[in-house]
Amino acid sequence: MAIYFHEEDLPVGVLADGPVAVDTETMGLITARDRLCLVQISDGKGDEHLVRFANGSAFDAPNLKAVLADPARVKLYHYARFDLAAIAHYLGVWATPVFCTKIASKLTRTYTDRHGLKMIVSELLGEDISKQQQSSDWGADVLTDAQREYAASDVRFLHRLRDVLVTRLEREGRMEMAQACFDFLPARAALDLSGWADKDIFSHE
């Protein structure tokens, strides 16, 4: 189990076939303003790959884009809505099809309103992850070991989480509803990027 660091693209052939866990780190929450700094990706076999983009990057990352855009690979996220928008805006690909652990959690863990990654990793897997570096400077010239460990831990548990959450979704008869939500996420991310980020277009208001 190791964390691999790459500049500007993923090397070819470092991922096994099948679903990949994906996360992004940016300069902030406003996608068009706050540049994409890091894409983390894992095939769930124990290694995490961090792909770093420098300030002023051309985001010319053909290997990474090929994996993200591969329709045969499900991409696992926690809060896919944000990552899909960031990847679409900066890398120009829709990183689908999607499984979102936050949506799956909301559709099954109806006994709580705590759906953060740290909480569900703790409750469903009994593992502990630190969120201390979440709001750190991802645009720094050199990422610290703590930042790298944090970034990697955000994709480390998504395969195992998906397995538990699929069982819960099936138990509650909500797998189809979840899949419909996952399938809508690119449209939701496109709305975010087009000026409807703060509007619920399904609301009566």
Interface with Mn ion (CB under 5 A)? 23, 154
* Min separation Cβ 23 and Mn ion, Å: 4
- Rounded to whole angstroms, how far apart are CA atoms 199 and 205? 9
Closest contact distance (angstroms) between CB of 106 and Mn ion is 18
Answer whether 64's CB lies under 8 Å from 39's CB: yes
Return the number of the residue (150 or 182) whose C-beta is nearest Mn ion: 150
State in angstroms the smallest separation of the CB of 154 from Mn ion.
4
The count of residues in the chain is 205
* Nearest CB to Mn ion, comparing residues 48 and 154: 154
Are 140 and 100 contacting, i.e. CB atoms less than 8 angstroms apart? no
27 vs 179, beta carbon nearer Mn ion: 27
Instruction: Identify which of residues 43 and 154 has a Cβ nearer to Mn ion in the complex.
Output: 154
Sequence-separated (6 or more) residues with CB below 8 Å from residue 89? 31, 32, 36, 193
The least CB distance from residue 176 to Mn ion, in Å, is 29
Q: What's the closest the beta carbon of residue 201 comes to Mn ion, in angstroms?
A: 27
Residues in Cβ contact with 140 at an 8 Å cutoff, skipping those fewer than 6 apart:
147
Nearer to Mn ion, 144 or 167 (CB): 144
The residue number whose beta carbon is nearest to Mn ion equals 154
Q: How far is the CB of 68 from Mn ion (least distance, A)?
A: 16
Q: Which is nearer to Mn ion, 89 or 174 (CB)?
A: 89
Structure tokens at 144: 């610290």
Strands (E) in 17-86, as ranges, are: 20-26, 36-42, 48-52, 75-77
Residue 72's CB: how many other CB atoms inside 10 A? 8
Phi, psi angles (nearest 5°) of residue 89: -70, -45
